[in-house]
Amino acid sequence: MFPTTAAPPRAVTEGSALVTTRTNRVFTEAVTQVLRAIEAEPAYAAEPHRRRGAPLVVAVIPAWNEAACIADTIDGLRHQTRPPDLIVVCANNCTDDTAAVARAAGVDVIDMPRNPDRKAGALNYAMETILPSLADRDRIFVQDADTVCVPRWLELAGAAMDADPGAVISGRYASKDVRGLLGLYQRNEFARECRMIDRRGDRTHIIVGTSTLLPVAMLREVIEARRTGRLPAGYVYVPESLTEDFELTLAAKTIGWRTASPYGCDAVTDLMPTWKMLWRQRLRWMLGGVQDLRRYGWTPVTSPFHVRRAWILFGLACMLLFYATLAATWAITGTVAMSLPWVLLTGVFIIDRVAGVRSQGRAAMAFAALLVPEVLYNMFAQAVYATALCKAFRGASAAWHET
């Protein structure tokens, strides 16, 4: 049962008028009635996912000024082969018609016109409202408002979670059809990441904000661990984190949960349309990741992430040394000699990069075969990482930009 009033969790804010008491009561009573009706359905109900004893799935969509796409996002959820039992949109600091469009689409809406804690605050508030009426076996599906999941997402994720009850299921990045050089760069990047997940047997290092299926039992463990000091302070999410999904990944792994990303759980999302927006997005990801790792220190969970980041630094140093050597050789001798072993090694490298983007079609493969353009993109990514490290070591304050 929900309480008759739903006070915002302290992780969101204390004393802010996020929603009125009357709105809270109407919303929580409506959600409770929906969940009761689902649980009361007979075993012979037409939808197999609503049979007695099956876990409920509640979809939570934090949305900030997403009036243009929120209807498509909701429609994508309704056309899942295993639709969610309840859809809740958190209209978070919206100044457009996101809430009105979502209500017109027939879903429940939480209005949060003044939420200083952004996405983490909206999700914390929604989960504190919803969790009391869910059983440990139930699941909460968190999805970005600018994302549309493939129709079998929830079916495949649910089956993977049934097979491994100790897993948190994360979606895979799939990009909308954005043309241009920058779009091609990002599509190839995400395709290679999916290929790496396949090679690891669907194991993923992190859970992503675009689409994640969270076991209610895990969420309750996280809340209790934060309350007792085993994890950094917060509720489910830590509002101070720039990368709240990565921080939740560390929290879940610290208390013994695993992360997986099954083949076919694709979430089609927006790409960054400009280099400036891409820089800001990746800088936030990198800086937020470094700050979150600092919160946890060196542990068996964080050590692989520290090693991977050290490897990135090593790669950056090698790249700078390589180009410095080329420049010095050219300056001294006026030419650069090519050796057969290095030519063959470069050929193997190109073949691997081409194979990694087969799913994107011939144009992407031809572009990858050119090598030099993607080397330049990698240099951009390494520059972002170096900038994030400098900001982190200088103690730069967290900055949030629209991405």
Mean pLDDT of 271-277: 90
Q: At 400, is the pLDDT very low, low, confident or very high (cuts 50, 70, 90)?
A: low
Which residue do the tokens 């050796």 mark?
Answer: 339
Tell me the per-residue pLDDT of 137-153, one tens digit each, with 9 for 90 and over. Answer: 999 999 999 899 999 99
Q: At 32, is the pLDDT very low, low, confident or very high (cuts 50, 70, 90)?
A: low
Mean pLDDT of 150-157: 96
Q: What is the pLDDT of residue 211?
A: 95
Mean pLDDT of 167-187: 87
Residue 261 in this model has a pLDDT that exceeds 50: yes
Q: What is the pLDDT of residue 100?
A: 93
Q: At 52, is the pLDDT very low, low, confident or very high (cuts 50, 70, 90)?
A: low
Residue 49 in this model has a pLDDT that exceeds 60: no
Q: What is the pLDDT of residue 10?
A: 41
Mean pLDDT of 155-172: 95
Mean pLDDT of 78-94: 93
- Percent residues over pLDDT 90 in the chain: 56
Residue 235 in this model has a pLDDT that exceeds 90: yes
- Picking from 228-232, 332-336, 351-355, which range would have the lowest pLDDT averaged per residue? 332-336
Q: What is the pLDDT of residue 340?
A: 84
Residue 30 in this model has a pLDDT that exceeds 90: no
- If one compares 338 and 304, the residue with the highest pLDDT of the two is 304
Mean pLDDT of 86-99: 91
Q: At 379, is the pLDDT very low, low, confident or very high (cuts 50, 70, 90)?
A: confident
- If one compares 5 and 284, the residue with the highest pLDDT of the two is 284
Q: What is the pLDDT of residue 19?
A: 38
- If one compares 242 and 315, the residue with the highest pLDDT of the two is 242
Tell me the per-residue pLDDT of 284-313, one tens digit each, with 9 for 90 and over. Answer: 999 999 999 999 999 999 999 999 888 888
Q: What is the pLDDT of residue 3?
A: 31
Q: At 115, is the pLDDT very low, low, confident or very high (cuts 50, 70, 90)?
A: confident
- If one compares 337 and 204, the residue with the highest pLDDT of the two is 204
- If one compares 119 and 14, the residue with the highest pLDDT of the two is 119
Q: What is the pLDDT of residue 31?
A: 54
Mean pLDDT, the chain, whole residue set? 84
Domains belonging to the chain, first-starting first, are: 21-171+207-271 (3.90.550.10), 304-393 (no CATH)
| Interatomic CA distance for residues 133 and 402, integer angstroms | 34
Q: What is the pLDDT of residue 398?
A: 52
Residue 4 in this model has a pLDDT that exceeds 60: no
Q: What is the pLDDT of residue 218?
A: 97
